[in-house]
Amino acid sequence: MKTICFYFQIHQPYRLKRYRFFNIGRDHYYYDDYSNEDIMQQIAARSFIPANRMLLDLINTYKGKFKFAISVSGVALDQMEVYAPEVIDGLKELSRTGAVEFLAETYSHSLSSLIDPVEFQSQVQQQTQKIKLLFDQKPKVLRNTEMIFSDDIAEMAYNMGYTKMVSEGAKLILSWRSPNYVYKSENQPNMKLLLRNSQFSDDISLRFSDYTWKEYPLTAEKYISWIAATSPQEEVFNIFMNYETFGNLQPAHSGIFEFMKALPKFAFDKGIEFSTPSQIMDTHKPVGTVSVPLAISWSDEERDLSRWLGNKLQKSAFNTLYEISERIRLANDRRLKKDWQYLQSSDHFYYMSTKHFYDGSMHSKFSPYQSPYDAFNNYMNVLSDFIDRVKAQFPDSVDNEELNSLLTTIHNQEREIKKLQSELKKVLTENEEKLVEKTPVK
């Protein structure tokens, strides 16, 4: 039986305000609160809230047989809690149906898996804790930022306790093979993989309202007929998209909501069911292995990392940021750690991309900057101030090993002091009790 696996990604970064050179050392607040609030509320109103409502109606209409998965970054949840709590309420309703699976990902929507395994593990743990707290689910499937995947990342994920991941069905790793099966990592055979079907996914997320597309207009009946017409051996169709496809990337007037509302009926009529990633990987055996020595992603035709790390500006900013990761892990400053999280979002490097910038493509329209160079200068000014704050606590004159030793000593002393305080309190309490016992009652 053919099965459709819908997965939707939710993320919004904390956008930086215009931060100039003379702000360094004077202004330690980096965010454009007005833009962040305005953008989140706009997207919530035209996309997230109506999408939540539509999908909940579909689950109820088909009595839980319509299923899908969602992953949401921690930085997006942080903003929703402040600017659009009704979106979280809607996601909670979806979670309570039992038909929606929440996936694990990095809290910051970061590229940490490419450079800092410790940070990568920490962020995944933090995001899963947030998902458990808000939606009462413990994620079983890992979706890395931008679907970035490699043999090394598979090994890291497995060591973190994951045996299931989702990624991109890139031709450079599949060659002639179809993405419509369950695979496993060649490097870590205990890691099962669901690979995105880019054609079926992009037909909805990118081409749905494209008047020049030869298949326009796309109807639910036509779409399902394409899936039904595939080889009988192809059973799993992984349709992975940005949640903003509904109402934002594809506006409501395009008919995207009506398309989605009609789709399950045509699927069920053809004997096609819906399932979540973990359910599929629990019930289907891998048909083969994939080897991914160089990291892939779900972006652009190349399916590589060039959208975020394709030029010298991006690489310079990226390496400068992670040079201080060891010192950040030693810090206890809550504000410093929160800034560290927000500065890691992949979007900051995305804005520095020079790919297609001059052709007016859709990618450049997502950037709040006039050019990639403006994005680089603004980010590096912020990063300079941030690094100065880190160095104020942990000077360069002390290397990481020495610093770690000193902090360990301090932490041990703190624990010893707390222990002695506890013992002293216990002794004082006992003495008070003895004194009460000896005091004659008048």
Catalytic residues: 146
Cα distances (angstroms) measured from residue 179 to each of 38, 157, 200, 415: 38, 21, 11, 53
Residues 261 and 255: their CA atoms lie apart, in Å, by 10
Residues 123 and 381: their CA atoms lie apart, in Å, by 25
Tokens of 302: 């190349």
Please list the residues that pair with 9 across neighbouring strands: 71, 242
Residues 96 and 87: their CA atoms lie apart, in Å, by 14
Cα distances (angstroms) measured from residue 325 to each of 116, 318, 330: 8, 11, 9
Tokens of 277: 């990633």
92-111 burial, b at 16+ Cβ within 10 Å, e below that, comes to eebbeeebbbbbbbbbbbbb
Answer for the pair 330, 349: CB distance below 8 angstroms, yes or no.
Answer: no
In the block, residue with structure tokens 């035209």: 46
Is residue 191 classed as helix, strand or coil in its secondary structure? Answer: coil
Cα distances (angstroms) measured from residue 25 to each of 1, 60, 164, 386: 62, 55, 45, 9
Q: Which helix (H) or strand (E) holds 84?
A: none
Alpha-helix residue ranges (DSSP H) falling in 44-189: 49-61, 74-83, 85-96, 117-135, 151-159, 171-174
